């Protein structure tokens, strides 16, 4: 068995955070998998390696409470009970009730409401004067949608957005003390809201996901964890896919073609909202290139690197609005395939189509501002405007 290659790629380097893809390309040309001392894990760069990591049941999501455990108990409580942080059979037990609730038609029921919410948000902005499409559209829409799906009052939409953003900042390398404190407070407040709502729905059921989950065998802690996961995953992914894809298109003078869902798939591929997903070996595993991973060692699947692999995607660094086929890995594969993928796809297709319908001359009004994070990669601010027809042709 050959020894594993190594990489010194610094995932916190501002240049990598700003544009990781040239760095991924150089690494991928040298090795599909490499040991990364900085993170204490193997990094996977090729589509084949990332896909293998996600499909191999010997590489699991094994939650370990963050330390100091007592201080971080509110944060840890939300994660140790999540389906995403567990493997079968526990994962199956936690996922089945949520999947069953999703299958009752909640997503398709929301399609007209998504159009209504999106239209309402766009009616409040001026294309000629310009607006921040993230703050005015990409951020509030998925929060309003997921809140309606869950049954959380819309009056809490701002709180949900703030709590979600505070919690997910913990997923970045080496979070600061301020980030930790904010995540703990957000975890406490978010959990308290969901517990109150679950109690209300047990007394007065409604047509929402919290009502469905409250009627299952899940414990209160597990229902809270499921609701928080759905909000965080549904909100953060949708915001960043939308913002990243929009910036990519506007920089290149592109717009969606007749097949908007195909354009959405390219948005998902081109700039992955989630760049890194970690697994831990429970048995010895041989990865592509003959790299052996021993039990207890970690492997990080770099989704953005996989989605730009030239062995799978022709012209991988070009944004092709009607790309087909498009076997990207943005939603994962295997048992941890994103449960909210149908909702995300529907929401993105509707919101992208409506944006260009309302502002056919959409263009960047200023340079977008990055969130400055790597794991959840996206833009904090994207100023846009609607250019008159004459300006678009000049």
Annotation marks residue 338 as catalytic = yes
Q: What percent of the chain has pLDDT over 70?
A: 97
Over residues 179-191, the mean pLDDT reads 95
Is 317 strand, coil or helix?
coil
| pTM for this predicted structure | 0.91
Distance between CA atoms of residues 361 and 383, nearest Å: 14
Q: Which of 46, 51, 238, 351 is catalytic?
A: 238
pLDDT tens by residue, 96-124: 888 887 776 667 788 899 999 999 999 99
Over residues 217-223, the mean pLDDT reads 91
Q: Which of 34, 147, 225, 233 is catalytic?
A: 233
pLDDT of residue 390: 45
Annotation marks residue 263 as catalytic = no
Is 281 strand, coil or helix?
strand
pLDDT tens by residue, 187-211: 999 999 999 999 999 999 998 889 9
Instruction: Compute how many other C-beta atoms are within 10 angstroms of the C-beta atom of residue 266.
Output: 25
Annotation marks residue 238 as catalytic = yes
Task: Please give the DSSP secondary-structure letter assigned to residue 128.
Answer: T
Q: What is the mean pLDDT of the chain?
A: 91
Q: Which residues of 100-135 are buried (b: 16+ CB within 10 A; e: fewer)?
A: ebbeeebbeebeeebeebbeebbeebebeebbbbbe
Distance between CA atoms of residues 242 and 223, nearest Å: 28
Instruction: Compute how many other C-beta atoms are within 10 angstroms of the C-beta atom of residue 391.
Output: 11
Residue 89: burial class (beta carbons within 10 Å; 0-12, 13-18, 19+): exposed
Annotation marks residue 126 as catalytic = no
25-34, 169-178, 300-309: least confidently modelled range:
169-178
Task: Please give the DSSP secondary-structure letter assigned to residue 369.
Answer: E
Helices (H), the chain: 14-18, 21-30, 47-55, 73-80, 90-101, 107-109, 111-123, 133, 140-150, 157-168, 177-203, 209-214, 220-251, 260-270, 303-306, 341-358, 389-393
Q: Are the beta carbons of 321 and 254 closer than 8 angstroms?
A: yes
pLDDT over 80 (residue 393)? no
Q: Which of 273, 338, 349, 365 is catalytic?
A: 338
Distance between CA atoms of residues 191 and 79, nearest Å: 12
pLDDT over 50 (residue 95)? yes
196-205, 319-328, 333-342: least confidently modelled range:
333-342
Q: Are the beta carbons of 221 and 77 closer than 8 angstroms?
A: yes
145-154, 346-355, 364-373: least confidently modelled range:
145-154
Is 94 strand, coil or helix?
helix
pLDDT of residue 152: 87
pLDDT of residue 1: 42
Name which residue leads in pLDDT, 233 or 207: 207
pLDDT of residue 389: 64
pLDDT of residue 187: 96
pLDDT over 50 (residue 314)? yes
Q: Which of 139, 148, 222, 236 is catalytic?
A: 236
pLDDT tens by residue, 271-288: 999 999 999 999 999 999
pLDDT of residue 6: 96
Q: Which two tokens stand for residue 304?
A: 């953005």
């Amino acid at each position: 068995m050959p020894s594993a290659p190594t990489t010194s790629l610094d995932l916190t380097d501002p240049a990598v955070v700003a544009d990781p893809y040239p760095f991924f390309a150089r690494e991928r040309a040298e090795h599909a998998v490499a040991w990364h001392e900085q993170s204490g894990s193997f990094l996977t760069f090729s589509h084949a390696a990332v896909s293998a990591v996600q499909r191999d049941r010997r590489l699991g999501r094994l939650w370990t409470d963050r330390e100091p455990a007592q201080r971080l108990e509110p944060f840890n409580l939300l994660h140790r009970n999540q389906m995403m942080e567990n493997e079968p059979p526990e994962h199956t037990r936690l996922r089945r009730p949520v999947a069953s609730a999703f299958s009752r038609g909640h997503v398709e029921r929301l399609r007209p409401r998504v159009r209504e919410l999106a239209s309402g948000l766009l009616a409040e902005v001026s294309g000629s004067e310009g607006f921040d499409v993230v703050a005015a559209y990409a951020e509030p829409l998925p929060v309003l949608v997921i809140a309606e799906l869950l049954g959380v009052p819309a009056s809490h939409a701002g709180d949900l957005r703030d709590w979600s953003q505070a919690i997910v900042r913990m997923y970045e390398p080496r979070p600061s003390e301020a980030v930790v404190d904010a995540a703990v407070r957000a975890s406490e407040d978010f959990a308290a809201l969901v517990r109150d709502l679950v109690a209300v729905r047990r007394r007065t059921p409604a047509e929402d996901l919290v009502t469905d989950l409250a009627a299952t065998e899940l414990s209160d802690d597990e229902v809270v964890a499921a609701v928080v996961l759905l909000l965080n995953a549904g909100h953060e992914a949708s915001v960043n896919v939308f913002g990243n894809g929009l910036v990519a298109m506007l920089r290149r003078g592109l717009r969606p073609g007749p097949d908007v869902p195909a354009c959405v798939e390219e948005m998902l591929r081109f700039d992955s909202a989630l760049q890194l997903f970690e697994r831990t070996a429970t048995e010895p595993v041989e990865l592509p290139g003959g790299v052996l991973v021993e039990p207890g060692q970690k492997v990080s699947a770099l989704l953005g690197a996989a989605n730009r692999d030239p062995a799978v995607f022709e012209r991988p660094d070009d944004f092709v609005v009607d790309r087909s086929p498009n076997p990207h890995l943005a939603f994962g594969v295997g048992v941890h395939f994103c449960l909210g993928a149908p909702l995300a796809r529907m929401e993105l297709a509707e919101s992208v189509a409506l944006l260009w319908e309302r502002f056919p001359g959409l263009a960047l009004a200023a340079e977008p501002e990055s969130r400055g994070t790597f794991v959840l990669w996206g833009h904090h601010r994207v100023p846009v405007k609607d250019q008159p027809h004459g300006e678009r042709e000049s």
